[in-house]
Every structure is written in C-alpha cells, then in structure tokens.
Amino acid sequence: MAMARSVGTLASLALLPKTDLKGLVERLMGEFTVVGPVPKGKEYVFSPIQSAGDLALDYGTTILPPKKVLHQPFEVLFSFHETEGICEAREPERKQILFGLHACDVYAIQILDRAYTLEYPDPYYGIKRQNTLIIGLNCHQVGPTCFCQSMGTGPGMRQGYDLLLTDLGDQYLVEVGSSSGEALAAALQLFPAPRVMLVEKEKRLDEVRRKFHKRLQTTGLHELLEDNFRHPVWEQLMHQCLACGSCTMVCPTCFCYNVVDKLDLGLKSGKRQREWDSCMLLEYAQVALGHNFRKDRDARIKQRVYHKLVYYEPQFSTIGCVGCGRCISACVKKIDFTETIAILRGE
C-alpha cells in the first residue's frame, strides 16, 4: 500500500480501492481471526478465512447467520471432576473480525447483545463479543426472501459496525462507526474521502431499495397479532409445518438453548454443555411426568411468530425479526410468515 496516506485525525470517511482489499484483509489476518462469507457448494457460509481470496463479498446471504461464532451451536460451560470440582473450560479467545456482514446480521447481533448482556450477563457470549470487531458491508443486491427494508433494519446499515464498507464500483467507501473502528482505520492507513461520497453511497442504496419485492407491513402489527391469536390461519399452518425447527436454527436473533451434561467414559468427570434449542420442537416446553405446555403444533408456531414480531419488544425494547429471510428459504414447506401477516391483514 505504497500510495496510502495516513489518516491522522480520522475524517470518519475513507476510500479503499478494490485492488487494496486483499492487502488490507491480509494485514487484518495478522492480528485477528477473520470470519467472513465463503462459498460452500451453491451457497455461502461464514467461516474463518485462510486467505483473502476465500472471501466472497458478492454473497447474497449465508446458510447460518454470524451468530454462530458468538452464541455457538454447542458450547461447553464448564467441566467437573469428582475430586477437583468445577473447572471453567474457557480458553483465551483470540480477537476476531466479522468481515462483510450485511445490515440485517449486524442488527441481529445488537438484538442478541440485549438478550445476552443486560440482566445476568452471559460470560461466554460477553467475552467473545468483547473480542469481536464488525466490518459491515452494505448490500448491493436483494435476495428473493429479503425483507429487511420492511423491518427498518436495512438495506443501509446505520449502527452496530466498527467499519462499514459500501461498494462504489472500483472502490469501497469506508465509514467509521466506533472508536475501535477508528483505531483500525488509522492503523490501516486508508485514504480520506470527501463527504460528497456519501451522496454516491445513498444513490447506490436507493437502487437497492427499489428492488425489494417482499414486504411485511409493520404498522399496527402488535395489535393485529394480539387480535388474531385465535385466527384459523394458525391451524392451517399447523397442518403444513413439520415442526422441524429449521426456521429457528437459521434465525440470527433466536437465542434459546438446552443444557446437557456429558459424562466421560470413566464416569468420574464430564462436562456441562449447551446446544441451540428451538421452540418449534416438541420437547422444548416439556416438563417432568410428560406434561407439555406447548404440545400442539399451532401453539409452537405461534410462539415463534409472536416472539419474533411481538414479545421481543417488551422483553428487550427491540424488534425480534430483522427480515433476513433465512427462515423462509430454510423451510421445506416454504412457510413464509410475511404471507401469514398479509392473510391476517386480509390482503
């Protein structure tokens, strides 16, 4: 990066020629584990990258959201031993960068922050989160199941990032969103950019905004759902839904988990582990003696939809769905709750 000038006092706006991206990512990899979108078959997944070339920044969406590196599908809470007692299994975490996240996924991380770090902060999530920087990437395309625009979470990213990239053709506009982002930008010696580049950015985003065809009308949504708890649509969905839990597994804001103890072979030691759980599964609300508080499938379907669209608000003062569309594309039966809402609205 011979041409790069240092951005001493940061103008919070910089330009990054695309030809410099590789070098930048490689410098980041020296200090951080860089997790970004990489191709897997015909789809994409977030994965730690081995080289800058692994990144597929033109990705639409990923199978699982980046949540999986902060709230892991399986996580050991501690190990226990007959004589030594409880040992915390936590390893020192390497600093990581989540690279190329879209607006919906960044918003979802902010929702998880509320669920995991407010009351009784979760140390496993908290430490990983503290060690994580987010480099966002504004979307330049709209997937067939995307409806972030309706939820007010995208396509333009407004918060939650340390650095934000917007594709302007042969260069990226880089915006700084935090003091860590500012330090990062300074260390990377980016070109300062004139503020008029923001106009260029908005122009690009406007093109994206025009491309949405899926929408979920959110005005009066709480009232609509509260008035329609007994609507026949739930029973119809019950007959389609397989209650497989795929929709919650791929959701960037779902936080539920189950806890299991695993004994080692000698039966003298073992570990306590948590694993993602889903309110769509029969066992989720089951207690001793076989009693189940959500035995019926329609009750479970409603739990998911109402939790996402209504209950997050009183619980965490935020919406619960960021409109990433993953639950729609993951559903074998193609159940799409934007359609359910349209039915309730009589559309």
For residue 333, the minimal CB distance to another protein (Å) is 24
Indicate whether 321 belongs to the interface with ligand SF4 (CB under 6 A).
yes
* DSSP SS3 for 52: helix
**Contact flag: residue 2 with ligand FAD (CB under 6 A):** no
Q: DSSP per residue over 30-45, as a string?
A: HHSEEEEEEEETTEEE
Choose among 128, 60, 41: nearest CA to 100.
60
**Is residue 285 near ligand SF4 by the rule CB under 6 A?**
no
According to CB under 6 A, which residues from 28 to 57 bind ligand SF4? none
Nearest approach, Cβ of residue 236 and ligand SF4 (Å): 19
User: Which amino acid belongs to residue 286?
Assistant: Q
Residues 6+ apart with CB under 8 A from 25: 34, 49, 52, 55, 99
Q: Does 251 bind ligand SF4 (CB under 6 A)?
A: yes
Contacts of 145 (CB under 8 A, 6+ apart): 61, 214, 325, 326, 328, 329, 336
Q: What is the total residue count of the chain?
A: 347
| Closer of 58 and 313 to another protein (Cβ) | 313
Stretch that binds ligand SF4, among 38-46, 130-138, 193-201, 299-307 (CB under 6 A): 299-307
User: Residue from 10, 27, 211, 257 that binds another protein (CB under 8 A)?
Assistant: 257
Residues 128-167 touching another protein, rule: CB under 8 A, are none
Which range, of 132-140, 159-167, 175-183, 250-258, touches ligand SF4 by CB under 6 A? 250-258
Task: Calculate the alpha carbon distances from 219 to 147, 175, 242, 309, 346 in Å.
Answer: 15, 31, 30, 12, 14
In this structure, the strands spanning 163-167 and 132-137 are parallel
Q: Are 175 and 12 in contact (CB under 8 A)?
A: yes
Residues making contact with another protein (CB under 8 A): 77-78, 80, 85-86, 88, 115-116, 119-123, 126-127, 226-227, 229-230, 255-261, 263, 267, 270, 272, 274, 277, 279, 284-289, 291, 293, 299, 302-303, 306-307, 310-311, 313-315
Residues making contact with ligand FAD (CB under 6 A): 283, 286-288
